[in-house]
Amino acid sequence: MLKRILMVTFTAAVLACQATPKQQPVVDGVPNIKPAEQQSLVCKEVVALIENYNYKKIKLNDSISSLILDKYIKALDGSKSYFQAADIKSFEQYRTTLDDDFRNGDLTGVFYIFNVYLKRYNEWINYSLNQVKAKYDFNQNDTYTYDREKMPWAASSAALNEIWKKRVKYELINLQIAGTPEAKNIETITKRYQNLKSQVAKLNNQDVFQMIMDAFTEVIDPHTNYFNPANAQAFNEDMARSFEGIGARLQLDNEVIKISEIIAGGPAFKSKLLSAGDRIVGVAQGNGEFEDIIGWRLENSVAKIKGPKGTKVRLKIIPAGHELSSKPVIIELTREKIIMEEQSAKKQVKTIESNGQTYKIGIIKVPGFYADFKAANAGDPNYKSTTRDVKLLIDTLKNKDKVDAIVMDLRANGGGSLLEAIDLTGLFIGRGPVVQVKDLRGKVEVSEATNNAPAWDGPFGVMVDRLSASASEIFSGAIQDYGRGIIMGTQTYGKGTVQSSIDLNKLVNPSLLQRLAALVSKEGSVSVSGASGGITPPQLGQINLTMAKFYRVTGSSTQHKGVMPDIIFPSVYPMDKIGEDTEPSALPWDVVPRSNFTPVKDLTAIRSSLVKLHEQRMAGSLDYKVLQQDIAEMKKRENETSVTLNESKLKTERDALEAKSLAKTNELRAARGLAALKKGEKAGKNEAFDFMENESLKVMADLMQIK
């Protein structure tokens, strides 16, 4: 029903999209980037979707227009390093018109603002390049203010000249303190600014449109997001934890695509023809002609190299260590579906001793709630999902590793699939309500886990932190409400909203898309021919639209408040800067009636005992003491906005901080029986220590002993 309603909305808008747009003001000195016809259409439809189907039921008005303008300018120049006060004053003409412009699909104003930014950007990068070779006095007592967010906009070019001159000086001092020669420092900074200039020259209207839509949607609510076609593909691949291609991670290095990693099991890995460090200078599809990709944007090169499984791609390779002028090696690979195992759920087993007893505890790290919906809908019995992966890990931990308890690590897990959160909860509670969802009509539905029995019914704990959000909060909240396990960490993010992913192409009548494609092709925009020789319709992208809120089975929303752990740790993330309650456009906290659920156990008394034992350990814990000191120092540094440009003073400050950090590190290492590190020496990977994980395992040992 929703799709049918949305189709009507889109059809009407496409028919109306032929209105004559305003003339976009021209900015001298830069290639003026202009919006594409399909972007005008998408903008109108995003407005329609938000006004009709966003949970807030909000209508665009002059107040929202003002907020969008401020958000957009901040996104472009949050450091106030490019625009001058006169530029900002000239943008005031758009303060109360963007709501009407966006509703009509008129993007000329916001694209003009970007082109002004582009001009200013190039001006100050060019100025900085000229300043790199200037003579500086590093013994002066001047300072560089790097955080200018709360300062006024520069009144003149001369004022910005001074800011950029100090920035260049600061960058040179940093390299000089590191001990590199002056000539090398000048070369490094010159290349840095030349690279910045090169990268900004590659920006296109898709990049600009994405920034505009980000500013727009973030004003509505923090989690309604538009993704342009390239970003939509990346989002869906991340959700599926898979993609189709050659199985190599790529990066841009001095205008050339370089292989940074070969993914195990993929075509590149199996062929043994590619290695990390190899550079790709040309790409051909099957037996087609090669295209030279030197100087291309990274995502454009990646799009050529990736492709449907079963298809062939040929690459021109300059092997690692060879000069770029060397004769390329040509290789051919057949693309396959690549599973991103390193971003999937993983397990490890650790042993903990407590009061003379030894316990084996399995730790399952879940980085996100992912699911390959495309494969699942196609009937693939082995489709990728969080629940399926965790179920296999539990079976191994239980039957092979013979663990006494399991801890789920959801730290930095920003969420993902709501269905996966429900199914994953079922692995630990069996059958029962998991989450309540209230839609934009106010109707509340209860979603239940349908497992006949839990996959793990033994001692269980969950680690969370401030970055644990959304699906992580559904899972940890349900575990806590059922008394099924102990939650350990810091107050979670507080995202209690549900987004629906809408492929904009699927909402538009195909014949209308073809008309739009013909119009785009006629106007000379980028378009490709399909296999049948016709014009391929333009991709419109995807919107993740906030259409519901979720609530715990107790009826309480996690919105704003998140999940409060049973065992609370200090947060290494600033609670006043990260979290839903720091977002001005976030939905409020509220409640719905309690669902009909039966807790597995009442852990109230046990929880109190665990807290006491934890606090006793923390009172004598050196790690805890150092953690609190580090957090206090981070808060102190948060308020700093400037830095000295006196080389001697800066070096003294840096040396003092480094010495203090090394002393604390060695104090902790001594407590663990490890040898002290020397200045500049790094600890080995096997010596890494995770304080929160270690203490969580001790809490689990306490839990087993109390029970």
Vertex 447 angle, CA 443 and 451, to 5°:
165
Residue 525 placed within a domain: no
Write the DSSP assignment of 344-395 as a string of letters. S-EEEEEEEEETTEEEEEEEEE---B-B-HHHHHTT-TT--BHHHHHHHHHH
Examine the domain organization and report whether 583 and 619 are in the same domain: no
CATH number for position 252: 2.30.42.10
Candidates 40, 65, 242, 470; catalytic one: 470
Residue 188 placed within a domain: yes
221 is catalytic: no
pTM of the shown model = 0.87
Examine the domain organization and report whether 59 and 167 are in the same domain: yes
Examine the domain organization and report whether 251 and 347 are in the same domain: no
Candidates 495, 557, 696, 702; catalytic one: 495
Q: Which residue has the tokens 């107050």?
A: 491
**Average pLDDT, whole number, for the chain?**
90
Examine the domain organization and report whether 79 and 158 are in the same domain: yes
Confidence of residue 10 (pLDDT cuts 50, 70, 90): very low
pLDDT digits (tens, 9 = 90+) for 546-592: 999 999 999 999 999 999 999 999 999 999 999 999 999 999 999 99
486-489 and 460-464: which strand pairing? parallel
Examine the domain organization and report whether 74 and 52 are in the same domain: yes
470 is catalytic: yes
pLDDT number for residue 240: 78
pLDDT digits (tens, 9 = 90+) for 315-333: 999 888 887 777 889 999 9
Examine the domain organization and report whether 270 and 175 are in the same domain: no
Question: Strand pairing partners for 257?
Answer: 252, 280
620 DSSP 8-state letter: T
Residue 326 placed within a domain: yes
Task: Give the Cα separation of 245 and 305 in Å (integer).
Answer: 7
Task: Give the Cα separation of 576 and 580 in Å (integer).
Answer: 10
pLDDT number for residue 9: 44
Give first-to-last CA distance, the chain, whole Å.
51
Element (H, E) at 17: none
Among 220, 253, 286, the domain-final residue is: 220
> What domain range includes position 662?
615-678+685-705
Confidence of residue 511 (pLDDT cuts 50, 70, 90): low
481 is catalytic: yes
State yes or no: pLDDT of 252 exceeds 90: no
pLDDT digits (tens, 9 = 90+) for 524-554: 443 333 333 456 778 899 999 999 999 999 9
Element (H, E) at 488: strand 486-489
Confidence of residue 340 (pLDDT cuts 50, 70, 90): confident
Residue 529 placed within a domain: no
State yes or no: pLDDT of 508 exceeds 80: no
Spell out the SS3 assignment of 132-158: CCCCCCCCCCCEEECCCCCCCCECCHH
288 DSSP 8-state letter: S
pLDDT number for residue 143: 94
Among 220, 255, 284, the domain-final residue is: 220
Examine the domain organization and report whether 159 and 280 are in the same domain: no
pLDDT digits (tens, 9 = 90+) for 213-246: 999 999 999 999 999 998 888 888 888 778 889 9
Examine the domain organization and report whether 350 and 278 are in the same domain: no
State yes or no: pLDDT of 253 exceeds 90: no
How many structural domains compose the chain?
A: 4
Q: Which residues contact 622 (CB under 8 A, 6 or more apart)?
A: 667, 668, 671
Candidates 87, 481, 566, 702; catalytic one: 481
Residue 508 placed within a domain: no
Examine the domain organization and report whether 330 and 425 are in the same domain: no
Task: Give the Cα separation of 94 and 238 in Å (integer).
Answer: 37
Examine the domain organization and report whether 370 and 321 are in the same domain: no
Q: Which residue has the tokens 């999902």?
A: 385
pLDDT digits (tens, 9 = 90+) for 258-314: 998 888 888 998 998 998 889 999 999 999 999 888 878 888 888 899 989 999 999
Residue 517 placed within a domain: no
- Winning range, highest mean pLDDT, from 169-183, 237-251, 552-566, 626-640: 552-566
pLDDT number for residue 507: 78
Task: Give the Cα separation of 693 and 517 in Å (integer).
Answer: 54
Confidence of residue 21 (pLDDT cuts 50, 70, 90): low
Task: Give the Cα separation of 302 and 281 in Å (integer).
Answer: 12
Q: Among 209, 232, 210, which Cα is nearest to 36's?
A: 209
Q: Which residues contact 251 (CB under 8 A, 6 or more apart)?
A: 257, 258, 260, 298
Examine the domain organization and report whether 126 and 214 are in the same domain: yes
Vertex 315 angle, CA 312 and 320, to 5°:
140
Examine the domain organization and report whether 58 and 188 are in the same domain: yes
Element (H, E) at 256: strand 256-262
State yes or no: pLDDT of 2 exceeds 50: no
Confidence of residue 179 (pLDDT cuts 50, 70, 90): confident
